[in-house]
Amino acid sequence: MGEALRHKAVLFCPPDTDVFRWARSQGILSSGRCPGNYTPLLKEVVGIAGDEIEIGSGHVVLNQRQLPMSKVLPLSYPNINRQNKLVPTGFIWVIGKASPESFDSRYFGPIPMAEILGFAEPLLVTR
């Protein structure tokens, strides 16, 4: 799938990890139908396997290009991993483009493609 996923809006279940449990306890995430009692998240895929992600500059830099609306905000979760990394095979890197405060891969890292529930397509309404 690789490159075909880039810029697609994906609906996925957050994995039941420490950072997602913390986010739910802080009211950042709601309870829902996903395993671990999370609500599904809708984000845009910006990184695919092999892409280089840098988040130490205060913004997300993907393959040496800063992404718009990608400022990394200070969160009080103590174990956020902000090291540079490659997106591993079988994973995607997602970001919320609608809000600069989106809880996305800036804070929880890459998401396994196995967690994808589906894709969202924009609708064009004309009158």
Q: What is the pLDDT of residues 12-71, one digit of tens each?
A: 999 898 889 989 998 999 999 999 999 999 999 999 999 999 986 788 899 999 988 888
Q: Are 31 and 24 in contact (CB under 8 A)?
A: yes
Task: Give exposure, 43-72, as e/b (b: 16+ Cβ within 10 Å).
Answer: bbbbbbbebebbbeeeebbbeeeebeebee
Q: Are 114 and 13 in contact (CB under 8 A)?
A: no
Residue with the two structure tokens 């395993």? 35
How confident is residue 106, by pLDDT bands cut at 50, 70 and 90? confident
- What integer pLDDT is reported at residue 83 of this predicted model? 67
Average of pLDDT values for 84-107? 88
| C-alpha to C-alpha distance for 15 and 69, rounded to whole angstroms | 24
